[in-house]
Structure 1
Amino acid sequence: MTELCPLITALTATFPWHRARITFLAQFLVALVRVRTVTLTQIATACCGNTMTASNYRRIQRFFQEFSLTRTQVAAAVMQWLPLGEKWLLCLDRTNWQFGSQPINLLVLAVAYHGVAIPLLWMGMDKHGASNSCERIALLKHVLCAFDRKRIQCLTADREFLGTEWIKFLKRQRIPFRIRITRNILIPNPSASSEMAAFRFFQHDRPGEARLLPRPRRVWGLSVFVVGMRIKNDYLIVITNTAPETALKDYARRWEIEPLFGCLKRRGFNLEDTHLTIPERLNTLIGLLTLALCWCLRVGEWLHERTPLAIKKHTRRAHSLFRYGLDRLRNIVLNLAAKELEFCWATFFLSCT
C-alpha cells in the first residue's frame, strides 16, 4: 500500500488518529473517487492493496459501526484545506430522499465558496418535510460554539426557513441574515396605517429593479429591513437586520448550495444510493463526502489556474471546478502505478491552503 503514502502523510497532518485509521481513510477516499458512489460494496472492490473484497467490506462496516467522524473534525479539515477567508457567507438549506419507507432528511449549513457551498454542519431529521425553529437554532448553536461569530458575514436562507422564534434568535445573537419571505406576508404600510401583502410594495416596479423600503418594518413583530424586486412570474423579497444595500447580492449566493447537493448526488458521489439510515453513520458518511469534495475542489482550482475552463455563451464555465478536479483526480487514482508523481501532486493540496 505504499502508493497511498503521500495521501496518508497529508491526512496525518489533519487528523490526530492512529496509523490504521488514517490508512483506512486514505483507502476510502481513493476508492470513493474511483467508483463515484457511496455503495459500500462497490467501494470495497476499489480499495487499494491485496486484501480480499469481503475483508474490505467488513472493515468498512466496522468503521461505520464503531467510529464517528464528528462534524467538528470535518469542519476543522475544511478550514485547513480550503482558503475560506476571514468572512463566511453561510447558506442554510435542506435535502431529502427516500430509502424504502425511511425518509432521509438533512438540514445542511454550508459556506459559499467559488460557486459551490461546502458543508460545515448538518443535522439528520427523522421526519418528512421542513425543519422547525428549534432544529435550526440547535444547528446554529453548534456553529457559535465551534467558530468565532465574527467570521459570519451573513446567513442566507430561502422561504422555507421562516419563523418568529428563529428570527428572534438570529437578531439576539447578532447574526446578520438575508432570508427570503413569501410574497403574501403582511408588512406595515405607514402611509395607509395598515398592513398589506409584501409583493404589493413592489408590484409597480420594473422587473429586475431592486428597491429598499424606507425605514425598518415590523414583520412578525420584529424590526427588519425589507428589500425586494419583481422577477419572472414572481417576487424576490428579502428581510435582513444589517446592510440592506447588499442584501439581494448576498442572497443570490445562496444558490451555491444547490451545486453542492448536485456534487453529493448524481453529478458526483451518488449519495442517494446509500443504504445507511442510522443518523450517526449517515453523519459520518456526509463527513467523508465533504472531505472528498474539498479534495476535488482544490485540484480543480489548481487546474483552472493553469488551464482555464472554457466559458460558454451563457457566461458560465463549461464545467464546475468540482467536476474539473474530480475527473482529473479520478484519472489519477485509476492509474496509480503509472501516475505516482501526479498523485503526490494531488495530495499536496491537503497539507496547505
Structure 2
Amino acid sequence: MQSLFSTLREELQLPTKKIEYFISFIESIIQKESVNLDQIAGIINPKNTKKSNYRILQRFFKDFNLIFTYFSKLLMRFIPEGKRILIIDRTEWKEINIFFLCVEYQGVGIPILWECLDKKGCTNTLERIDLLQDYLNIFGKESINYLTADREFIGRDWFNWLNSQGIKFLIRIKSNFILKNDFSYKKKVKGIFRYYSPKTKILKLFGTELRIMGKRINSKDLLIVATNSDELALEDYSTRWLIESMFSCFKKRGFDLESIKMTDNYKIDKLIAFISITYCWCIKAGKIFKTKDSKIRKDTGYSRKSTFKIGLESVSISIIQKHSKPKKYLKFINVFEPHSNESSHFVVA
C-alpha cells in the first residue's frame, strides 16, 4: 500500500488517518461497484456495525477538506507530459448537474476538473471560462493541444474568449446556425452540408472566421464542427465521445453514481474526487490486463470487455486477495507511481 499511500500524502497533503480512510473508501467502491454510502457502510470496516460505519462516512464527507488543485495534479499524474486534448461536457440527473473537464489519454477520458452547478440545464459562458481558467492556472496554456465539445458549448463570447487565449477548439455546431462571408453570402448550416460527401468551408460564425467542416451521417443527422485551427480534421471530433464513455463508467457500467442520496454540492464534489481516482486506478490496471489476458471477439477484432471493466474486475480480485496474495496487490498499488514503464509491470506513466 506504500506507493498509493505515499502518492496521496505527497499530492493531497492530508493526515495519515484521512489517507488510510480514503484508501479504504476507494477499495470499497471497487468491491461494491457502487458509491452508495449505504452499500459502502456494509464492508468498509468489518469491525464496526453497518450503522456505525454509515455515521463515520457521513462525518467523513462533512469534515474532509480537499484542496481540488492538489487533486487535479494527482489525476494528471496518470497522463504523460505533452500536449493534451481537453474535452468538456455535463452530466445531469434529478437535481444534480455536474460540469466536467477531461483529458484524453490513450483512448479514454480522464477527469481533471469539475463543478457542481447550482441549477438545471446548460452552462453559460462564465461557467465555461471559469473551469477553463482553473485549468490554465494549474497546468498552463502550453499543455493544451485543442479543446473539443458538443453543441451546447457554443456562443460569440465563448468563441472570442477561446481565441483570445490562443486555445484551438473543435466544437460541434447546430444545423440551423447562419453562416456568412465578407460579402452577401448567408446560408444555414444544413443547406451547405445537405449531401453525404464531407465538405470544408471558411465562413463566419458569430462574427468570427472559422473553418466549418461537416458531413451528413444519415437521412436525418448532420455532423458539423467549427474550428479556429488549420490543423484539425473532422475525424478529430471523435475524441469527444470519450467523456460520454467516462460518464457511463461513473454510472451504470461502473460505480452507480446515480444511486447517491447526497444533495449538497460540496459533498458531491468530494465524492467525484474519490470516484475519479478509483476510475483512473481501474483504467491503468485495465490497460495492462487488456494486452495480457483479454479475449478478442473474432467478429469485431475488439476486446469483449472495455479497458475499464477489465481493470475494475482485476483490481477487485486483488483487493479481496490482498492478505493471501500481497505481492499481487502491491503490483496494482504501483499504478500510482509516476513516470514509470507501464509495459513492464503494474506502474503508471
Alignment TM-score, normalising by the size of structure 1: 0.90
**Which residue among 146, 158, 161 is the counterpart of 2:153?**
161
Amino acid aligned to 2:296: A
Matched, 1:97 2:93: yes
Structure 2: state its 5+ residue gaps: 339-348
Question: How far apart are the structure 2 equivalents of 1:69 and 1:237?
Answer: 40
SS of 2:336 mapped into structure 1: coil
Alignment of 1:240 with 2:227, yes or no, is yes
Aligned residues: 338
What does 1:167-246 correspond to in 2, within 5 Å?
167-188=159-180, 193-204=184-195, 207=196, 209-213=197-201, 216-232=202-218, 233-243=220-230, 245-246=231-232
1:10–1:347 Cα contact (<8 Å) kept: no
What's the CA shift string for 1:162-211, capped at 9, x where partnerless?
11111111111111100111111111257x8230101222224xx2x432
Please state whether the residue corresponding to 2:113 is helix, strand or coil.
strand
Partner of 1:343: 329
Verify the 8 A CA contact 2:181 2:204 in the aligned structure 1. no
Shift of 1:306: 2.3
Provide Cα deviations, 1:210-240, integer angstroms capped at 9, x if missing partner.
3221xx3221111211111121122111111
Q: Is the counterpart of residue 329 in structure 1 residue 300 in structure 2?
A: no
CA positional deviation for 1:53: 3.0
Instruction: Pick the aligned partner of 1:273 from 233, 256, 259.
Output: 259
Question: Which residue does the alignment assign to 1:39?
Answer: 36
Tell me the equivalent position of 2:249: 263
On the 8 A contact 2:108/2:246 being kept in 1, the answer is yes
Instruction: Name the counterpart of 2:142.
Output: 150
For the residues of structure 2 that align with 1:33 and 1:351, how far apart are their CA atoms? Answer: 20
Secondary structure in structure 2 of the residue aligned to 1:169: helix
Relative to the length of structure 2, the TM-score reads: 0.91
Amino acid at match of 1:212: T
| Structure number with higher relative contact order (C-alpha < 8 Å, ≥ 6 residues apart) | 1
Alpha-carbon contact 1:31-1:48 (below 8 Å) kept: no
The Cα shift of 1:9 comes to: 4.4
User: C-alpha deviations, 1:133-181, integer Å up to 9, x for none?
Assistant: 1111111111111111111111101111111111111111111100111
Q: Percent same amino acid at aligned positions?
A: 33
Superposed CA RMSD: 1.9
**Superposition deviation, residue 114 in structure 1:** 2.7
**Secondary structure at 1:349's aligned position in 2?**
helix
SS at match of 2:146: strand
Is the Cα–Cα contact under 8 Å of residues 186 and 195 in structure 1 kept in the other structure?
Answer: yes
Displacement of 1:337 in angstroms is: 2.7
Give the corresponding residue for 1:114.
Answer: 106
Q: Secondary structure at the match of 1:276?
A: coil
Secondary structure of residue in 2 paired with 1:45 = coil
Q: What SS class does the counterpart of residue 75 from structure 1 fall into?
A: helix
Deviations 1:293-320 (A, max 9, x none): 0111111111123234414534433211
Give the 3 Å change call, closer, same or farther, for CA 16–49 of structure 1 in structure 2: farther
Distance across 2 between alignment mates of 1:54 and 1:6: 31
